Amino acid sequence: MTPAEQRAAHPLIADAPDVRLNTALWRFWRQVLMPVTIACAAIAGAHWAHQEVLNPPGARQNRRKTR
pLDDT 10s digits, 51-67? 766 666 776 666 666 65
pLDDT for 66 equals: 62
CB 14 within 8 A of CB 6: yes
Q: Give CA separation, 32 vs 19, 37, 53, in Å.
A: 20, 10, 30
How many CB atoms sit inside 10 A of residue 9's CB? 10
pLDDT for 53 equals: 65
Per-residue pLDDT of the chain (67 residues; tens, 9 = 90+): 787 787 777 766 656 677 888 888 889 999 999 999 999 999 988 888 877 666 667 766 666 666 5
> What backbone phi and psi angles, to 5 degrees, belong to 17?
-70, 160
pLDDT for 37 equals: 93
